[in-house]
Structure 1
Amino acid sequence: MSLLRKILIASAMMMPAALMTGTAASADPGRFMEMNTVVKAPIGHKQFCRDYAWACPKERYEPVVVRLDEARWQELIDINTEVNRRVRPMTDEDLFGEAERWTYPVEGYGDCEEYVLEKQRVLVEAGWPRSALLITVAKDVKNSGHAVLTVRTDHGDVILDNQIEAVLPWYSTPYRYIKRQSASSTVVWTGISDTRVTTVSSVSR
């Protein structure tokens, strides 16, 4: 079975759940997210870069799209699963007494940003190019802010998430994508044009 077929099967298996939550992909959303102009970085990411300057190099670099083979696809799945199981969910309010704080997991706990930052860190240490591992901000089906990791591959943008165990193409997830890190700089953020069809209840409450 080809790698692309495995990705599509994983997507198809998750699609009924996505549709039940009120989000459906358009007929042809494209394998890659459509990026708009430069936008402001999330306040939490600015705070993270102050705390962890080494994780936010200011130099620009040539964007890389990872060529997925069976070994790299399995590595993505394994790291996503390992971090999801190792980190236990806890809100920033409970952890830090703050509404929002971006950091690495604290004593094995964290919210969606901690999952994303840890996955990005582990993948970079495993040799994946930083320019292909992009922190991404979205709205979930309750219109709440959510963060996931977008991985840019030759099969399209795929999503590593703490709420959905499977690694899926971006268009098969039940989120409305807002902005993400630029593929050429860790400190620049770009808006996302997510024109997929969604129900009013999933984005307007």
Structure 2
Amino acid sequence: MTGVFRAACGAALTLASILAPAPVVAANSTNAFLVAQYPVTAPPGSKGLCANYAWACASDRAASPSGPADLALARSVNSSVNRKTRQIEDQQQYGQAERWALPTTRGGDCEDIVLLKKMKLMQAGVASSNLLIATVLDRKNSSHAVLVMRTDRGDLVLDSLNSRIVHWTDTGYTFLKMQNPASLGSWYAVLAGHMLKDRPTASR
């Protein structure tokens, strides 16, 4: 990796835009796994994702959480992709604000890097339903995307800003949306993490 990509990655996201569709059912920040709350629209840049990359939306509902072998593989893939992929904004590369695609020879932004990691792990045999794309607000409340790996240790995060894989509760991020594990072509609000950890639970 040629340097840490500090610019906001992806279209601007706000908590208000996520909370608007329905009352919040806040997830407990101590949960091992991120919990889907209710259906939401897919992130703007993901339009056409399933058509262009069918594997990114292919579900394997029978899969059990990934174990130590998959995690060791994920550590290698995460570190390698971060090191080798130059980070470049979509506006600079495509002339548009947001476009989810595999990195080109020029590189890619956070969503592109997530896709590359997911593809490499699937090619190595990791179940697709254990590899969930998620949109978050990072520690500076900037838009970002990460790959959530569902393991027997809980949900772990592969991040283009960090070559260490950590539990989602240790990222300091606010998790907004995530692919539905049962149907990867759809998205759910998860609403958990840093900015929501003390938010009271509301009934729907």
Q: TM-score range by the shorter chain?
A: 0.7 to 0.9
Are 1:31 and 2:45 matched, yes or no? no
Shift in Å, 1:67:
3.7
Amino acid at match of 2:105: E
Q: Which residue number in structure 2 is paired with residue 160 of structure 1?
A: 158
Name structure 1 gaps, 5 residues minimum: 1-25, 200-205
Q: Which residue number in structure 2 is paired with residue 22 of structure 1?
A: none
Maintained 8 Å contact 2:35/2:190: yes
Name structure 2 gaps, 5 residues minimum: 1-26, 198-204
SS at match of 1:128: coil
Taking the aligned partners of 1:79 and 1:150, their CA distance within structure 2 comes to 14
SS at match of 1:104: coil
Shift in Å, 1:113:
0.4
Identify the structure with the greater helix proportion.
1
- RMSD in angstroms over aligned alpha carbons? 2.4
Maintained 8 Å contact 2:173/2:193: no
Q: Which residue number in structure 2 is paired with residue 140 of structure 1?
A: 138
Which among 107, 112, 115 is matched to residue 114 of structure 1?
112
Shift in Å, 1:186:
1.8
Q: Which residue number in structure 1 is paired with residue 82 of structure 2?
A: 84
Taking the aligned partners of 2:181 and 2:156, their CA distance within structure 1 comes to 14
Shift in Å, 1:50:
3.6
Maintained 8 Å contact 2:77/2:120: yes
Shift in Å, 1:62:
1.6
Q: Which residue number in structure 2 is paired with residue 95 of structure 1?
A: 93
Maintained 8 Å contact 1:38/1:188: yes
Taking the aligned partners of 1:185 and 1:44, their CA distance within structure 2 comes to 19
Which among 70, 73, 89 is matched to residue 72 of structure 1?
70
Deviation sequence 1:1-46 (CA, Å, 0-9, x none)? xxxxxxxxxxxxxxxxxxxxxxxxx996221112201111112112
Amino acid at match of 1:127: G
Identity of aligned residues (%): 36
Q: How does 1:41-56 map to 2 (within 5 A)?
A: 41-53=42-54, 55-56=56-57
SS at match of 1:34: coil
Shift in Å, 1:193:
3.0
How many pairs were matched up?
Answer: 172
Amino acid at match of 2:124: A
Q: 1:72 to 1:51 in 2, by over 3 A?
A: closer
Q: 1:156 to 1:85 in 2, by over 3 A?
A: same
Q: Which residue number in structure 1 is paired with residue 201 of structure 2?
A: none
Q: TM-score, normalised by structure 2?
A: 0.76
Maintained 8 Å contact 1:47/1:101: no
Amino acid at match of 1:111: D
